[in-house]
């Protein structure tokens, strides 16, 4: 749990709403076993009333990739790592900025996609180096191209209920580097290297391993893609119908 990511009143209001809603429902739905354990631990509902329906990520296969974004940003295939530009504390993106300030990663690029730009990170007391690119918001097709051509999708979050970006990357055949936190190990399975979310050197080492050992890179890509093939929206819909059938009154 990372309450510092949310304003105090918002967090308290959300907690009260969740507790009230949990007591009234026939069942609760969540997206991972980790998230289920959190809900049970918070006493929103007993374990038997909490049902896990993982997200689908096969939507990334439906949008054609717009590969022109790579030369526009000066990127080469497998020459960059990808993450979301986010200043929420639990997303832990400053860890990546510190990792990419290390000399061994000077020739690798970090692409941070999203609304928080270089100025926002600077205002937060960070100093992103010249090897960090901020393209802002991108289209779905551009995002697919960035995910498919990256060396890795990086997710150093201190907690996640699911973790869509690395799983989307795995669906497209791109390995992940993740923190061993929240649901990330559960949903990335054999497609990810794990690194200490408080040690920039560990992230440097993981990325260099993927860059320098093609066998490791290709094994993670292959095994990860096979592992996440089950995360489809059709499977989620079928599981939802099963849950409704199980909990609905006769």
59: its two tokens: 């939507």
Q: What is the pTM of this model?
A: 0.90
Q: Locate the DSSP E strands across the chain.
A: 28-30, 50-52, 80-84, 109-113, 132-136, 152-155, 176-178, 192-194
175: its two tokens: 């390995």
Residue found by looking up tokens 């918002």 in the block: 10
In eight-state DSSP terms, residue 133 is E
Angle 88-197-209 from CA coordinates, rounded to 5°: 125
- Collapsing DSSP to helix, strand or coil, 51 comes out as strand
**Residue of 102, 105, 108, 54 whose CA lies nearest to 79:** 108
- Collapsing DSSP to helix, strand or coil, 138 comes out as coil
The reported pLDDT for the residue numbered 19 is: 57
The reported pLDDT for the residue numbered 25 is: 73
The reported pLDDT for the residue numbered 26 is: 84
Residue found by looking up tokens 């050197």 in the block: 201
The reported pLDDT for the residue numbered 173 is: 98
The reported pLDDT for the residue numbered 103 is: 97
Distance, in Å, from the CA atom of 98 to the CA atom of 108, rounded to the nearest integer, reads 13
What does pLDDT average to in each consecutive run of 10 residues of the chain (250 residues)? 53 54 76 96 92 98 97 98 97 98 97 96 95 98 98 98 98 98 98 98 98 98 98 98 88
**Residue of 39, 50, 68, 32 whose CA lies nearest to 164:** 32
25: its two tokens: 């429902």
């Amino acid at each position: 749990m990372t309450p510092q990511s949310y304003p105090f009143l918002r967090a308290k209001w959300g907690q009260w709403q969740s507790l009230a809603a949990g007591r009234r429902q026939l069942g609760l739905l969540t997206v991972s076993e980790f998230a289920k354990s959190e809900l049970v631990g918070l006493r929103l509902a007993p374990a038997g009333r909490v049902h896990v329906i993982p997200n689908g990520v096969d939507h990334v296969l439906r949008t054609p990739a717009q590969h022109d974004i790579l030369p526009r940003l000066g990127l080469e295939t497998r020459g960059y790592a990808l993450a979301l530009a986010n200043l929420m504390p639990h997303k832990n993106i400053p860890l990546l900025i510190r990792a990419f300030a290390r000399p061994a990663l000077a020739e690798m690029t970090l692409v941070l996609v999203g609304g928080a730009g270089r100025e926002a990170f600077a205002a937060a007391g960070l100093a992103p180096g010249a090897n960090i690119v901020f393209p802002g918001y991108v289209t779905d097709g551009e995002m697919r191209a960035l995910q498919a051509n990256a060396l890795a999708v990086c997710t150093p979050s201190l907690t996640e209920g699911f973790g869509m970006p690395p799983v989307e990357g795995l669906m497209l055949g791109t390995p992940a580097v993740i923190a061993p936190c929240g649901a990330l190990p559960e949903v990335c399975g054999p497609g990810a290297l794990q690194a200490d979310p408080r040690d920039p050197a560990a992230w440097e080492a993981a990325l260099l391993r993927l860059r320098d050992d093609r066998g490791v890179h290709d094994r993670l890509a292959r095994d990860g893609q096979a592992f996440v093939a089950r995360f489809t929206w059709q499977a989620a819909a079928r599981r939802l119908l099963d849950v409704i059938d199980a909990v609905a009154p006769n």
